[in-house]
């Protein structure tokens, strides 16, 4: 290891040690209760970065370790969603279209069918079904040609990957952004037992996903919350297999979600399955095109929900796939020739947007905009400054309403219940194996609003969520 690097590590380590008394004393001045909570959970004072800013009333802003770039986990979604509100606009929508370059002969389309996807973060199978219903309403039943997918809208970072702690690539929250994203590229596996037999099915039913049932039926009893089932997957991209092993009491139902196949294979199989349910057929094979050919005829189209609605799902339920799709959608909208992919474009334009708001973009690192990353970074001060800017934005109401409400809904529905801040705080949670974070807005006992950012980075952040909740409660209690 080079000597300069060793000297740098030693210097950073020394500075960290010297900073500890300052961290501890500042925390003690803010809240002895918070210091006690940190000690109880064996977390050092410098594991917590804190930024608390009054927005509409008296009070003193507090910044404790707030300039250290940290991994914010899913609180990074606040940056992505607020940027989308201002850069794309709250009423921005994404279109999905069906085209053909062929001709209609009776109820048969003589030619190819093109599916052009516009980057919709929430294009579900229900909306795709409605789009195909419109195609049937136009008098089309059979397609003699191929099913061709236009993959031009988003340029993803093909080298990006995130492996969760279980190293299970079939986990749905790991699905990356893609032009061809439909239905979160997910499958629901249903396991039912009745009359002494077990039944396994998938929804949606895709022809290129095989299901093997090895489930034993146990005598009827209380249906378990955590069934003794194992879902084994084999995924070759264009074909996949799910084998369900274990046991389930008679008369019970269990469900499990997986993500299989590549985007093109999943979307093609889903469209064909839905079209077949509508009585239609497609004679040709599947394929990809760089774009729909000029002069192609528009057959049917669908528009997504607007940005203001989409960000509610992202923040309330911390939907990683939708956040990634939205982040790359920002990049696609502002793409320049020098951008390697739309993730680079999004990071560039968001850093420029930070500068326009007099917020330093230094240390801001965005990989996919969801926080599901090992390299994304932001400081507590930067996040708090952004929240302060959002409070003054004309879209403040839409942004604030997108966050979980303490003790009531989203990822905060079970936290801060029965406390003075239940229903008083709109805050986004964040969690990775070495990160716990909370950021958003809360009201104090005198009904004034504060921007609060609390981030813990530590190899063992056990009990850290309780510490972050204590921060919010202390802001309400002190009312200074």
Residue 256, exposed/middle/buried by CB under 10 A (0-12, 13-18, 19+)? Answer: middle
The pLDDT of residue 20 is above 70? no
Q: Residue 463: left if φ>0, alpha if ψ -120 to 50, beta else—which one? A: left
133: which residues sit within 8 A by CB, 6+ positions away? 278
For CA atoms 170, 172, 178, 183, the dihedral sign is positive
For residue 17, name the pLDDT band (cuts at 50, 70, 90).
very low
pLDDT of 27: 87
Looking at residue 11, what is its pLDDT?
38
**Residue 327's pLDDT band (cuts 50, 70, 90):** very high
Q: pTM score, two decimals?
A: 0.93
- 358: exposed, middle or buried (C-beta count within 10 Å: 0-12, 13-18, 19+)? exposed
Q: What is the mean pLDDT of residues 396-412?
A: 98
Q: Name the band, by pLDDT with cuts 50, 70 and 90, for residue 162.
A: confident
Q: What pLDDT does 63 receive?
A: 96
Q: Rounded distance, CA 169 to CA 192, Å?
A: 25
> Residue holding tokens 């499990």?
256
Q: What's the mean per-residue pLDDT of the chain?
A: 93
Encoded tokens for 163: 């492996």
pLDDT of residue 21: 53
- 46 and 19 in contact (C-beta within 8 Å)? yes
Tell me the pLDDT tens digit for each residue of 80-111: 999 999 999 999 999 999 999 999 999 999 99
Note the pLDDT of residue 19.
44
**Structural contact between residues 328 and 175, judged by C-beta atoms closer than 8 angstroms:** no
Name the token pair of 294.
């000029």
């Amino acid at each position: 290891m080079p000597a300069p690097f060793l000297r740098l590590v030693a210097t950073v380590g020394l500075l960290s040690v010297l900073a500890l008394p300052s961290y501890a004393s500042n925390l003690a001045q803010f809240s002895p209760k918070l210091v006690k909570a940190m000690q109880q959970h064996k977390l050092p004072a410098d594991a917590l970065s804190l930024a608390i800013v009054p927005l509409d009333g008296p009070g003193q802003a507090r910044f404790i370790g707030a300039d250290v770039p940290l991994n914010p986990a899913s609180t990074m979604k606040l940056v992505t969603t607020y940027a989308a509100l201002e850069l794309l606009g709250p009423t921005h929508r994404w279109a999905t279209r069906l085209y053909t370059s062929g001709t209609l002969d009776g109820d048969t389309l003589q030619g190819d069918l093109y599916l052009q996807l516009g980057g919709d973060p929430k294009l579900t199978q229900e909306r795709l079904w409605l789009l195909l219903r419109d195609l049937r309403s136009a008098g089309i039943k059979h397609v003699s040609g191929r099913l061709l997918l236009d993959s031009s809208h988003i340029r993803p970072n093909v080298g990006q990957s995130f492996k969760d702690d279980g190293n299970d690539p079939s986990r749905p929250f790991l699905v990356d952004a893609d032009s061809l994203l439909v239905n979160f590229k997910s499958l629901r596996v249903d396991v039912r037992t009745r009359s002494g037999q077990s039944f396994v099915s998938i929804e949606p039913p895709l022809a290129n996903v095989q299901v093997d049932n090895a489930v034993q039926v146990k005598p009827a009893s209380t249906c378990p919350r955590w069934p003794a089932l194992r879902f084994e997957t084999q995924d070759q991209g264009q074909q996949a297999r799910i084998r369900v092993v274990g046991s389930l009491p008679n008369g019970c139902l269990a469900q499990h979600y997986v993500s299989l196949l590549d985007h093109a294979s999943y979307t093609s199989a889903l469209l064909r399955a839905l079209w077949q349910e509508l009585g239609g057929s497609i004679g040709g094979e599947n394929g990809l095109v760089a774009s729909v050919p000029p002069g192609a005829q528009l057959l049917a189209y669908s528009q997504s929900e607007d940005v203001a609605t989409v960000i509610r799902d992202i923040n309330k339920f911390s939907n990683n796939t939708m956040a990634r799709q939205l982040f790359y959608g920002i990049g696609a909208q502002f793409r320049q020739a020098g951008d390697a992919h739309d993730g680079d474009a999004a990071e560039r334009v968001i850093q420029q947007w930070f500068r326009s708001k007099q917020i330093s973009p230094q240390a801001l690192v965005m990989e996919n905009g969801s926080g599901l990353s090992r390299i994304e970074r932001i400081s507590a001060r930067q996040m708090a400054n952004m929240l302060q800017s959002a409070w003054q934005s004309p879209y403040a109401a839409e942004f604030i309403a997108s966050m979980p409400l303490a003790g009531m809904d989203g990822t905060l529905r079970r936290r801060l219940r029965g406390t003075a801040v239940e229903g008083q705080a709109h805050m986004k949670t964040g969690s990775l194996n070495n990160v716990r974070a909370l950021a958003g807005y809360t009201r104090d006992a005198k009904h004034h609003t504060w921007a609060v950012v609390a981030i813990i980075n530590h190899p063992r952040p056990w009990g850290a969520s309780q510490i972050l909740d204590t921060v919010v409660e202390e802001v309400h209690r002190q009312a200074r």
